[in-house]
Amino acid sequence: MQPAALGLTCREALMVFSQNETLALQRRVAELEARLARWEPVARGVHSFPDMKTYFDERDRASDYIKAWIDANVKGCPVSLYFVHKVCDLYELETFMKCVVLRLVGSEALCKTVAALCVNVVYAACEAAFSVARGEWCTNPARVRAVVYAAIDEFVFDYLDSIEATTYPPVDDVNELMQFFEDREERQNET
């Protein structure tokens, strides 16, 4: 139907068209924001730690939890039965990683996204290791655990740092910063 047939002037027809286009664009923007928040979370609700020591203590604690979970839940399997689900239950891994990331960042939406990405990273790391060392990799539980731990540890903390999901106040004194990392290295060497 033509706008003139409805008794609308050109100006009124332009206003109706403009409003319809605005509503359509608003719906599209909302849809795209929802998709973006699902796959590439924006650092909203950033968890700010009081100081660098607290931040790294929490990271180390999270890393210890991850290592303990992997030691208890990741195992080797015969080459003929190899499949990532034989190495570890990916659903349990995702649930566990949600808890670990939630503790670090305090954002449920972000922890779900990071946990899902973490499962993809573990899957890719296991597939890569299997294709490189086809005959022996998956039969050695220690190697399997090392691959899974390295993939998770590298990915989670690098990803959270890259999107600035966790922060701590800047350290002004370079000597204080150097001393902190030296002390941290000594503590790690003791264990």
Cross-strand pairs, 166: 47
pTM comes to 0.66
pLDDT for the residue numbered 18: 77
Instruction: Say whether 56 sits in a helix, a strand or coil.
Output: helix
Token output for 155 = 């990915």
Number of helical H runs and strand E runs in the chain = 7, 2
Residues of the chain with pLDDT under 50: 1, 43-45
pLDDT for the residue numbered 99: 92
pLDDT for the residue numbered 79: 67
